[in-house]
A and B are shown apart, each in its own frame.
Chain A
Amino acid sequence: MAADANATGVDERRSSARQTQSDDVDAAESADDRLLEVENLRTVFHTERETIRAVDGVSFGIEEGETLGLVGESGSGKSVTARSIMGLVDDPGELLPGSSVRFDGRELTDLTEKGYESVRGSGIAMVFQDPLSTLNPVYTVGNQIEEALSLHRGLSGIDATEKAIELLEDVGIPDAARRVSEYPHEFSGGMRQRAVIAMALACDPDVLVCDEPTTALDVTIQAQILELLSDLQAEHGLSILFITHDMGVIAEVADRVAVMYAGEIVEQAPVVELYENPRHPYTRGLLRSIPSTQQGAERLETIAGEVPTPNKAATDCRFAPRCPEAFDACEEVHPVPVPVEEGAEDHTAACLLYPEDEPRKAAVDRHAAAGDEDSPESAGSTGGDSR
């Protein structure tokens, strides 16, 4: 297994390199052992009419070897979150000051375009939604994988080709030695996505950001790709940020799930906990609207209305207009993520109903106070304290 030994060798080198790096970091700030830490991320897009707050105060972290699922409806800001992490937000978009993306203890939002190049690929790599448009149609698949290989592993010529074949085999492409010199149009949809994943793996990343990688694929291929991702994760010790709108897919791959709504994370919990015990009314609505083939199923439930486009700082609960459990305070207080009950620190929800074990008024005040701290700009208008 010459090929495998080689791959492992590379892995070892990489992780040992990171080891020394994180040792330094540990000395500096010992609290944080999470590989990727996103804090209070705010990405806005300036248009002529208004400023769209596509991502508005998102915080989450991913540990080494963990998969975080980011789920939400179309337009909830999932992809923008991914692009913000990759530093791919173009004009007229911008990250507001105060946003923080830390990778391996390194602050990414301060980096210049040049500095980002060293993080992209070898640190964080991305798999995009549509594999056909991710691959450049004028170059062979092998050529594109070799491009990443030469950039990150300094391979060229026959070495690069062999490594590319190896990677294609790793992602389960049959007859890889022949396929490596084929063009993207000669690949099927599933194989293209495998090739794109191989391209991302060629960079030997620590974190893989998958932006709806299975959306363009049919269900059986979807399952194969998900299985492939979890195999690769086990093999390479990858951390994965998995973005999707499909609650079924998230159940299969994620260790923890963050539910996004209108640019905010409304609930975050370990995957089993979330499915068995969803707390936020929006999460419940989402889970109820999964179609199933069970007998006697009634008309499928939906959440009425659609995701609003946030264009100013939140002063209320953005889900309130669609929420079946909304009460008066929901229109005046902006909820912040809080543990859903005493002792459940890993299950948070941004909803005035929580913490569940506190009296309602105390809970509302707690949200209002936290909100004032977080965003001074909204202090005057909440009025939560007065009641």
Chain B
Amino acid sequence: MSAVDYPVDEDEQTLLERIQDEPGPALKLLAVVVPLFAVEFGAVASLVMSLPWSAVGSALPGFLQGLAGALAGVGDALANLPTLLSRSVIDNSGYQLPSGEWVGTTLGLSPAVAWLLRVLLVYAYGFAWMAVGWWVYLVYRDNYRYADWAPVDDMVNRFRNHSWGLLGLAIIFAFVVLALFAPALGPTTVEANISDPYLHTVEYFDEEAGSVQEIYVGDANRDSQSRGQGGDNVGPLSYDQFGRFHPFGTLPSGKDLFTFMAAGARVSLFIGVLSLLIAGGIAVTFALATAYYKGLVDLGVVIASDSIQSLPQLLFIMLASFVLSGTWLANLYSGGVVLALLFGFTGWPGLWRAVRGPALQVSEREWIDAAKSFGQRPSVTMRKHMLPYVVGYLLIYASLTLGGVIIGVAGLSFLGLGINAPTPEWGRAVSAGQPYVPTQSWHISLIPGIMVVIVVTGFNALGDGIRDAIDPQSDVGTGQQDESAAAGGGA
């Protein structure tokens, strides 16, 4: 054996070094990502600045106060940067002169068209990010990954051939974009239309007076109510008498249903994701611990999970949220946080049961014994040698459970529990429209109801798709298609 000074050869390079060697594709990617991010930088900055920094600032010692103040000034300036998706880029608020001409909207477009354009712009932007995500995967796979092939490639291919899963992905994409860009998507904003209607005004052309008048939104809303048979009605895709366009019509209170729905999507998504993070975290920790230690630990968790599962979940959450109402916890995010906590802490047994099997399976593998045999610590063994086999399953069941949480939150809000008014939540819209279902104001209940169904179906379809994609044994019925795609498409 010679004293070789082991050269670091090509295969051992880190990702960074491989990128330095061949910067072309990465630079191209960067050239797209940076502008894409830059056009919305102001929104990100304002999101950051909207966090309760003043609490942090006052806690700082004196000599840092000045620095913090300067930072806050910079932050505010950044937050005020113009963004591509701000409402003013394509403005849809204005009034119509008797001549039919629109004043105040961008380019004099009608509010409906302006709103539609903005929606298209927002979705195009969202789609661009999704495309970039796909592109990053391709660039990484083809240019920078050490391995020519990895199991994830097969998973991606199987998913691409899974039409039901793709449908789910499309629905969830639409839902997530609706939630993330809710303020830009609505024809009006939550503040102006729903929470503080008497602090905002709209202009309209009063034909009797023959001039442009200003009116409080709250007063305007009273004339744009949807109250079914005999009452007023502003249905889907129609204007009210103040020149405001309502894509989904209005609520019985005269508020805009689409704005309400978009903001409600945000709340649903927040509760769903937070509760799943809690439930998933607990489930995975317990699953790994029970699979590793077995015996008493397993028994303990079984008893705990069975006890929780024996509670009627919704009933328990109703009771708990009633008990907790009025506390500071119930005021966080209009009660969203407490709902997320409740759904998380009552929802983990289902997830735990789903991942316990795979965890037990992997705990029996010989490499676990091998890791033990060279003295590896239990926590590292669990994290490094067991966790990767469990997360896939967690992803599937998390996706399936998310739909359930959304239904649950909608159900609670329908019953008047859950999210406090006036924060929008889908279930409350269903509830508000309930008396008008058989009338011409059917849209109030039906649209949110159908959207809940679609979104939940979407999450289930996505979960199905991921499950079939992860499981190499599941031939998704497109085996031949798979081969021909592999043979014909070089992507």
CB <8 Å contact, B376 and A178? no
B372 sits at the interface (CB 8 A): yes
A136 sits at the interface (CB 8 A): yes
The distance from the CB of A373 to the nearest CB of chain B, in whole angstroms, is: 35
Rounded to whole angstroms, the CA-CA distance of A386 and B3 in the bound complex is 73
Chain B 369-391 against A: per-residue CB contact (8 Å), 1 yes, 0 no?
11111111110000011001000
| Nearest A residue (CB) for B388 | A138
CB <8 Å contact, A199 and B370? yes
Q: A91-B295, A165-B6, A181-B146 are in contact. Are A126 and B370 (CB under 8 A)?
A: yes
Q: How many A residues touch the partner, as a band?
A: 35 or more
| Nearest A residue (CB) for B366 | A133
The answer, among B1, B367, B376, for a CB contact under 8 Å with A169, is: B1
Rounded to whole angstroms, the CA-CA distance of A295 and B3 in the bound complex is 50
CB <8 Å contact, B294 and A118? no
Which residues on A sit within 8 Å (CB–CB) of B4?
3, 177
B208 sits at the interface (CB 8 A): no
CB <8 Å contact, B375 and A119? yes
CB <8 Å contact, B9 and A177? yes
CB <8 Å contact, B365 and A120? no
The answer, among A86, A130, A139, A200, for a CB contact under 8 Å with B366, is: A130
CB <8 Å contact, A1 and B1? yes
CB <8 Å contact, B9 and A152? no
Which residues on A sit within 8 Å (CB–CB) of B483?
none
A328 sits at the interface (CB 8 A): no
Interface residues of A in 99-131 (CB under 8 A from B): 113, 117-122, 125-126, 128-130
CB <8 Å contact, A135 and B367? yes
Rounded to whole angstroms, the CA-CA distance of A292 and B381 in the bound complex is 45
CB <8 Å contact, A136 and B385? yes
The distance from the CB of A52 to the nearest CB of chain B, in whole angstroms, is: 18
The distance from the CB of B369 to the nearest CB of chain A, in whole angstroms, is: 6
Chain B 335-376 against A: per-residue CB contact (8 Å), 1 yes, 0 no?
000000000000000000000000000000111011111111
The distance from the CB of B387 to the nearest CB of chain A, in whole angstroms, is: 10
CB <8 Å contact, A152 and B375? yes
Interface residues of B in 127-178 (CB under 8 A from A): 146-147
CB <8 Å contact, B370 and A120? no
CB <8 Å contact, A151 and B3? no
CB <8 Å contact, B294 and A91? yes
Chain A 131-147 against B: per-residue CB contact (8 Å), 1 yes, 0 no?
00111101100000001
Q: A91-B294, A133-B366 are in contact. Are A180 and B373 (CB under 8 A)?
A: no
Which residues on A sit within 8 Å (CB–CB) of B294?
90-91
B207 sits at the interface (CB 8 A): no
Interface residues of A in 177-234 (CB under 8 A from B): 177-178, 180-181, 183, 196, 199-200, 202-203
CB <8 Å contact, A196 and B377? no
Which residues on A sit within 8 Å (CB–CB) of B147?
183
Rounded to whole angstroms, the CA-CA distance of A386 and B373 in the bound complex is 49
CB <8 Å contact, A134 and B366? yes
Chain B 1-23 against A: per-residue CB contact (8 Å), 1 yes, 0 no?
11110111101100000000000
A357 sits at the interface (CB 8 A): no
Rounded to whole angstroms, the CA-CA distance of A203 and B373 in the bound complex is 10
Which residues on A sit within 8 Å (CB–CB) of B377?
117, 151
| Nearest A residue (CB) for B11 | A181
Q: A1-B3, A134-B366 are in contact. Are A161 and B374 (CB under 8 A)?
A: no
| Nearest A residue (CB) for B147 | A183
Which residues on B sit within 8 Å (CB–CB) of A169?
1
Which residues on B sit within 8 Å (CB–CB) of A152?
374-375
The answer, among A90, A122, A138, for a CB contact under 8 Å with B375, is: A122
| Nearest A residue (CB) for B378 | A113
A64 sits at the interface (CB 8 A): no
Number of interface residues of B (CB under 8 A): 30
CB <8 Å contact, B7 and A121? no
Chain B 262-298 against A: per-residue CB contact (8 Å), 1 yes, 0 no?
0000000000000000000000000000000011000
Which residues on B sit within 8 Å (CB–CB) of A121?
373-376
Rounded to whole angstroms, the CA-CA distance of A129 and B377 in the bound complex is 23
CB <8 Å contact, A120 and B373? yes
Which residues on B sit within 8 Å (CB–CB) of A158?
8
The answer, among A3, A86, A148, for a CB contact under 8 Å with B3, is: A3
The distance from the CB of B319 to the nearest CB of chain A, in whole angstroms, is: 39
Rounded to whole angstroms, the CA-CA distance of A363 and B11 in the bound complex is 68
The distance from the CB of B292 to the nearest CB of chain A, in whole angstroms, is: 10
Which residues on B sit within 8 Å (CB–CB) of A118?
375
The answer, among B3, B12, B373, for a CB contact under 8 Å with A126, is: B373
CB <8 Å contact, B373 and A196? no
Which residues on A sit within 8 Å (CB–CB) of B11?
178, 181
Rounded to whole angstroms, the CA-CA distance of A180 and B6 in the bound complex is 12
CB <8 Å contact, B374 and A134? no
Interface residues of B in 279-333 (CB under 8 A from A): 294-295
Which residues on B sit within 8 Å (CB–CB) of A203?
374-375
The distance from the CB of B139 to the nearest CB of chain A, in whole angstroms, is: 21
Of listed B294, B373, B377, residue having the most chain A CB within 10 A? B373
A300 sits at the interface (CB 8 A): no
Rounded to whole angstroms, the CA-CA distance of A118 and B371 in the bound complex is 13
CB <8 Å contact, A2 and B3? yes
Q: A1-B3, A91-B294, A183-B147 are in contact. Are A120 and B372 (CB under 8 A)?
A: yes
Rounded to whole angstroms, the CA-CA distance of A7 and B430 in the bound complex is 74
A344 sits at the interface (CB 8 A): no
A365 sits at the interface (CB 8 A): no
CB <8 Å contact, A196 and B370? yes
Of listed A122, A129, A148, residue having the most chain B CB within 10 A? A148
The answer, among A91, A126, A178, A199, for a CB contact under 8 Å with B9, is: A178
The distance from the CB of B377 to the nearest CB of chain A, in whole angstroms, is: 7
| Nearest A residue (CB) for B151 | A138
Rounded to whole angstroms, the CA-CA distance of A198 and B113 in the bound complex is 69
A162 sits at the interface (CB 8 A): yes
A276 sits at the interface (CB 8 A): no
Which residues on B sit within 8 Å (CB–CB) of A133?
365-367
The distance from the CB of A235 to the nearest CB of chain B, in whole angstroms, is: 12
The 19 sampled A-B contact pairs (Cβ below 8 Å) are A1-B1, A1-B3, A3-B4, A91-B294, A117-B375, A120-B372, A120-B374, A128-B366, A128-B373, A134-B366, A135-B370, A136-B367, A148-B376, A151-B375, A162-B6, A177-B4, A178-B11, A200-B374, A203-B375
7 more contacts with CB within 8 A, not counting A88-B369, A128-B370, A135-B367, are A3-B1, A86-B373, A117-B376, A147-B371, A152-B374, A177-B9, A200-B373
Q: Which 8 A-B residue pairings sit nearest by Cβ, starting from the closest?
A: A121-B375, A121-B374, A120-B375, A126-B373, A133-B366, A136-B367, A134-B370, A148-B374
> B: which residues have CB within 8 A of A?
1-4, 6-9, 11-12, 146-147, 294-295, 365-367, 369-378, 384-385, 388
